[in-house]
Amino acid sequence: MDISRMTIEQIKVTAASPAGASREFRQALSEDGRAGVRELLDKLLRAENRFALELKRLGKMFLYEEDLKARGYHLVAGVDEAGMGPLAGPVVAAAVILTVRTNLPGLNDSKKLTAARREILAKQIKEAAVAWSVGSSSTEEIFLDNIRQAGLKAMRRAVSGLTVKPAYVLVDGFIIDRLEFPQTSIIGGDAISASIAAASILAKVTRDHLMDSYHKLYPQYGFDRHKGYGTQEHLEALSAYGPCPIHRAGYRPVQDCLRS
């Protein structure tokens, strides 16, 4: 392939096209002496290396699901929650069933992703999943049942909401009691299991959207920014305005405002 008469811009256009992946094109790049072409080749090789490393990382994230499939469990649901620590708002859980090796570049623990990346992945997860569901527990349930039990209840609701029933459940952190399906809890599962990571993203994005809607009702607290967590901004607003209906009455900073 002769690229000697092509400009750098023309070569860049070719590199971005299907022809750019051909062995002949890469060979032509390597033989071209222009600095701009060498720079382009280096950039392409670095991108390919990053892509290969990402595929390897994603492959490792399906090891739990692949092991269960080999044991006869073909429909595996990952389950995770978001919102155990905030001073306000519900706790939200999600359950997601993926096919093994679903291609979701960037899939990871939701806490390691930007908000924008989570939004993109949440849409991709919903499109790619065999089934997905979310469940939640209200601030009233958190107060009456305690946060751990409320979180478990949200998880059970997420699993029961799946339109396709799983054969097995992988859950981040701890066992879900009173669940009808066999399960395994994985500490830090949202970083090492694809299904749990997908659930963590859906739970986080769903809860963030809920807190954005609560911001419209109670704008003085800044829920759209801190999502109910105990930031300095939130604590100052709580001290100035007192609790609102979605604050968790059993949490110490909220209790302190109720006593004052």
CATH topology of domain 63-213: Nucleotidyltransferase; domain 5 (3.30.420)
- The residue extents of the domains of the chain are 8-58, 63-213, 215-259
- For the chain, strand residue ranges (E) read 76-82, 91-97, 131-137, 168-172, 183-186
Q: Given this model, what pLDDT does residue 52 score?
A: 80
Element (H, E) at 213: helix 194-217
- Please count the other Cβ atoms lying within 10 Å of the Cβ belonging to residue 90: 26
> What's the whole-model pTM score?
0.85
Token duo for residue 126: 């919903």
Q: Given this model, what pLDDT does residue 169 score?
A: 98
Q: Given this model, what pLDDT does residue 1 score?
A: 76
Q: Judge contact between 230 and 87, C-beta under 8 A.
A: yes
| Strands across the sheet containing 131-137 | 131-137, 91-97, 76-82, 168-172, 183-186
Alpha carbon distance 107, 105 (integer Å): 6
Q: Judge contact between 124 and 104, C-beta under 8 A.
A: yes
Q: Given this model, what pLDDT does residue 67 score?
A: 96
Give the mean pLDDT per block of 10 residues along the chain (260 residues): 86 86 87 89 85 82 95 97 97 96 87 94 96 98 96 98 98 94 96 96 98 98 97 95 94 81
